[in-house]
Amino acid sequence: MDNQVISTLQQLKSIFESDSTLPLASGNTPIFGEGTDNASIFVIGEAPGELENETGRLFVGRSGQLFRKTMQEADFDINKDVYITNIIKHHPPGNRDPTPIEIEAYRPYLDRQIELIKPKLIITLGRFSMNKFISGTTITKIHGKTHWITIIDKQIMLIPMFHPAYALRSPQIKNMFIEDFAKIKSALDYQAIMGDLPISKQDTTTQIPLI
């Protein structure tokens, strides 16, 4: 894929949909992403489930519905403020975990999606999407905390969240999941006040105290 010549999401989507080299492409619906091209929040899930594969839409199964409802309750319009996609863009058989080879195969598409959208905030759902940016820790330790990551020459705020399927496992985890989403507004407000800091003044593990 030649990133230089791909300047729109639509172009990238067409290339993705005809890419038969992707490891899970055969027999599955390609599910690229959903949302506005200039979304300020970029959400990265894990992979499409069975219902997503049947419908061609993201986050429509049980855990997806929890994610959509929680975003709405945190006062975000998913059709306006948010772009959603997955690390893996085809349904893995039996909903199994993605392999490192699969994650690497889909990576150029995800990277280019982020570069084209230029979000203000990235939210990762679950450990696989968190591990794309942050390693050496666990989601239990850092969920809901703000980090800074560098993408090309820009600092972008990132908040790792639990995966909604994990949040469905117990009322306690679900409450933490909902509380973490309620912090997004203050993270964006903080960023609006602080503006873009020079890269040298920030580091990827800095955590911003959220209100």
Range list of β-strands (E), 90-185: 121-125, 147-151, 154-161
The reply on whether position 63 binds ligand URA by CB under 6 A is: yes
The reply on whether position 52 binds ligand URA by CB under 6 A is: yes
The reply on whether position 59 binds ligand URA by CB under 6 A is: yes
Using DSSP's 3-state secondary structure scheme, residue 4 falls into helix
User: Binding segment for ligand URA among 58-66, 135-143, 173-181, 194-202 (CB under 6 A)?
Assistant: 58-66
The reply on whether position 45 binds ligand URA by CB under 6 A is: yes
- CA 179 from chain centre, in angstroms, equals 18
Using DSSP's 3-state secondary structure scheme, residue 161 falls into strand
CB of 188 to ligand URA, least distance (A): 22
User: Binding segment for ligand URA among 46-54, 102-110, 133-141, 201-209 (CB under 6 A)?
Assistant: 46-54
Using DSSP's 3-state secondary structure scheme, residue 99 falls into coil
| Longest distance between any two alpha carbons in the chain, whole Å | 48
The footprint of ligand URA on residues 153-192 (CB under 6 A) is none
The reply on whether position 48 binds ligand URA by CB under 6 A is: yes
The reply on whether position 61 binds ligand URA by CB under 6 A is: yes
Nearest-10 Cα torsion for 178, 89, 2, 200 = 20
The reply on whether position 92 binds ligand URA by CB under 6 A is: no
